[in-house]
Amino acid sequence: GQNIDQPTEMTATEGAIVQINCTYQTSGFNGLFWYQQHAGEAPTFLSYNVLDGLEEKGRFSSFLSRSKGYSYLLLKELQMKDSASYLCAAANSGYALNFGKGTSLLVTP
Amino acid sequence: EADIYQTPRYLVIGTGKKITLECSQTMGHDKMYWYQQDPGMELHLIHYSYGVNSTEKGDLSSESTVSRIRTEHFPLTLESARPSHTSQYLCASSEPGADEQFFGPGTRLTVL
């Protein structure tokens, strides 16, 4: 079965750093994705981890620990436009994605 | 820039109507997907295809059907729409393997 858990909501201040955690249980794991979704829009790809460790891409970084079934998305130098829902998704053995409910991030001035 | 398109973007119809939601991609991707997402809720996979003439049901049971006659086209059909079908439908595509999925803009369906 598939089980993706992430916090429902988070609030952070502009310019700060925020870490969004995700735990997963999935059969036939083939990688962990993070997507950003603004209200009423389609998800856009942020990152993909299949090996343990940290992947850095500009202001966004993503970490994976396969043994712990754990990932996090780190957002640095937060901007107001980063207010969105962040979706954690685990790829199964067929490479279909199982999405979590998303973490709604509010960035305040 | 991903080239995946969905039409219509918004649709309001009456109960019992037959509708087809269109999805097309110009990237030559073999894999295509349909997700259903209610407001504030997670995406649920309802159909996927690994290539022409290949279609599979996803994790969430759906009364819709799909077809894949051409690589670039993956339409979703509801034979008789009901209010419970009101939702956002998102189409996505990807290359073979666990690559990122590119999402279309979505179709927001309301059934009265």
Between CA A101 and CA A9 the distance in angstroms is 10
Is the predicted pLDDT of residue B50 greater than 60, yes or no?
yes
What are the beta bridge partners of residue B109?
B11, B87
Residue B58 touches partner A, C-beta closer than 8 Å:
yes
- For testing contact with chain B, the best of A9, A22, A95, A98 (most B CBs within 10 A): A95
Per-residue model confidence (pLDDT) at position A39 = 87
Average pLDDT of chain A to the nearest whole number: 92
Per-residue model confidence (pLDDT) at position A48 = 92
Transcribe A14-66 into DSSP letters: TT--EEEEEEEE-SS---EEEEEE-TTS--EEEEEE-SSEEEEETTEEEEEET
Average pLDDT of chain B to the nearest whole number: 91
Residue A29 touches partner B, C-beta closer than 8 Å:
no
Question: Who has greater pLDDT, B67 or B39?
Answer: B67
Backbone Cα Rg of chain A: 13
Per-residue model confidence (pLDDT) at position A1 = 44
Could you report the per-residue pLDDT of A70-108, keeping only the tens digit for each?
A: 999 999 999 999 999 999 999 877 667 889 999 999 999
State the number of CA atoms in the 13 A half-sphere of A71 facing the CB: 29
